[in-house]
Amino acid sequence: MSFANLGLSEAIVRAVTERGYTTPTPIQAQAIPAVLSGGDLLAGAQTGTGKTAGFVLPILQRLSQEPRPAAAHGKAPIRALVLTPTRELAAQVEESVREYGKHLRLHSMVMFGGVNINPQMQKLRGQIDILVATPGRLLDHVQQKTVDLAHVEILVLDEADRMLDMGFIRDIKKILALLPKKRQNLLFSATFSDEIKALADGLLDKPALIEVARRNATADTVAQKVYPVDRDKKRQLLTHLIQEKQWFQVLVFTRTKHGANRLAEQLLKDGITAMAIHGNKSQAARTRALAEFKTGKLQVLVATDIAARGIDITELPHVVNYELPNVPEDYVHRIGRTGRAGCEGEAVSLVCVDEHKFLADIERLIKRKLPREVVPGFEPDPNARPEPIQLRSQEHRPGGGRGHGQAGSRTGSQPAGRPGSKPALGGGRSGPAGPKPAAAKPSSMHRSGGRNR
Ligand code: AMP
């Protein structure tokens, strides 16, 4: 199987070859012909499967074959619209569009919140064939009448489950109402809740169904281990492991933004180059941290779950759960960052007595018990008593924007079960979904709190 066999043009195959890909991944092998055929698509695939090229390549092909409609009212017609939940994912998707489309004469743009809107307005006056956007900021442009969505031929909802988790459903519906009725719709989601199914039912017309193996914790390329340790020894243990094992490129997860900052500062004091990325950091700071991490200049990147979504680092050798996530599915997402594309990866978790319940939830989800290894000198106190875990400074989580008090509502020691936790595609629901705080909020409130505008 080659990219040329899938019906892609020479210019696209050349760009892909220059990127170093020789064989399409399973999602690409299935999605590319399906999208080229012009029909709708429902794809179950998460980050790491090559899904981005799975939709970007055939979109480039389709748009490059068809004439561009004439500009109306001085605004260039947007021909393909890709919606993503986070700024990072939007930036990476658009980067892929540019890279794979570098031998074509198509123009793309990325649009997200948290940055000055004026340069975006300026750019929208030029020619834009493919727009990659987060929903909130796109609606800002709609309101300002600086974007024309009346000519969209292809719509992609990327990581649709995350978009719903983050409370973007109202924004998505508003955007759908602005698009032409006749268009091609592609929906990508790692999980399939009833809510996603309802969205797909309303959106897709006789879609092709594609499902690729869920990246999960049983991936045998990822070695997983638990280091039991006392809560106040975690930082020393992490430094010890990094130095002893000579780890480079370590992605470390904390539960909170505050915890990420503090840990990065402490690691720096230990002589380990580290930076924290999370939603409070400027886009420029995040981009810089990621670039330095990728080149190896930065040894450790400390991230929260939300900030890490969409981070594309291939062949990441080490993922550390400095704190276990209170949402077991996040563990699977986290360790999915390592051991990609057949490379060996290692995912270790530093677990203190407070987190035993989280660990049990994770092991139940992945259906296996993780091996424990006590590091000499870091033996946990057998008499330690668990303390409630503070989730107060947690980043924007499912169902709400900043300022909803939603993170606060999840504060406390009840560890498991977030609103809207999703079963895997094909998996049964484990129970009724919890309440969705943001869905009940007026949209204006929700949008004023959105972090991706
Ligand atoms: P994605 O799931 O789209 O985030 O892609 C995951 C990673 O796989 C990215 O780093 C891509 O650059 C890489 N990738 C995508 N397609 C291929 C391919 N056909 N061969 C090798 N690597 C790929």
pLDDT, tens digit (0-9, with 9 covering 90-100), for 183-226: 999 999 987 788 888 999 999 999 999 987 654 434 555 789 99
Judge whether 4-211 and 222-400 match in fold. Answer: yes
**Cα gap 98→372, rounded to integer Å:** 44
* Residue 447 three-state SS: helix
- Residue 49 Cα to ligand 1 midpoint, Å, equals 6
Q: What is the pLDDT of residue 221?
A: 57
Domain ranges of the chain: 4-211, 222-400
The domain covering 222-400 belongs, at the CATH homologous superfamily level, to P-loop containing nucleotide triphosphate hydrolases (3.40.50.300)
- At residue 303, the 3 state secondary structure works out as strand
pLDDT block averages, 10 residues each, the chain of length 453? 92 94 91 96 85 97 89 80 93 95 96 95 93 97 94 96 90 97 95 87 93 55 88 96 90 92 95 87 78 86 78 74 90 74 77 96 87 96 87 42 31 33 34 33 33 41
Domain 4-211 falls under CATH 3.40.50.300: yes
Asked whether the beta carbons of 416 and 357 are under 8 A apart, the reply is yes
- How far, in Å, from the CA of 1 to the mean position of ligand 1? 16
Residue 246 Cα to ligand 1 midpoint, Å, equals 27
Q: Is 282 exposed, middle or buried (0-12, 13-18, 19+ CB in 10 A)?
A: exposed
**What's the CA gap between 434 and 119, in Å, rounded?**
40
Q: 17 in ligand 1 pocket by Cβ < 6 Å?
A: no
Spatial distance between the Cα atoms of 316 and 253, rounded to a whole number of angstroms: 14
Could you tell me the distance, in angstroms and rounded to a whole number, from the CA of residue 50 to the centre of ligand 1? 4
Provide the whole-model pTM.
Answer: 0.59
Asked if 68 and 80 count as a contact pair (C-beta separation under 8 A), the reply is: no
**Runs of H (alpha helix) within 212-255:** 234-244
| Dihedral, CA of residue 45, residue 257, residue 136 and residue 122, to nearest 10 | -110
The 3 state secondary structure assigned to 395-406 is CCCCCCCCCCCH
Look up residue 232 and give its two tokens: 């106040």
Kindly give the number of the ligand 1 atom that is closest to the alpha carbon of 310: 4
User: What integer best gives the mean pLDDT of the chain?
Assistant: 81
What residue owns the CA closest to ligand 1's atom 8? 50
State if residue 46 touches ligand 1 by the CB under 6 angstroms criterion: no
Q: How far apart are the C-alpha atoms of 377 and 237, rounded to whole Å?
A: 9
Phi, psi dihedrals of residue 47, rounded to the nearest 5°? -55, 140
pLDDT in tens, 226-244: 999 999 999 999 999 999 9
pLDDT score for 404:
31
184 lines ligand 1 (CB under 6 A): no
Residue 284, classed as helix, strand or coil, is helix
- Element (DSSP H or E) covering residue 348: strand 345-351
Task: Compute CA distances 61 → 36, 104, 136, 149, whole Å.
Answer: 8, 9, 28, 20
Q: Which of 32, 52, 56, 159 to mutate to test the pocket of ligand 1 (most atoms within 8 A of CB)?
A: 52
Residue 410, judged by CB atoms within 10 A of its CB (0-12, 13-18, 19+), counts as buried
Give residue 200 CA to ligand 1 midpoint distance, Å.
25
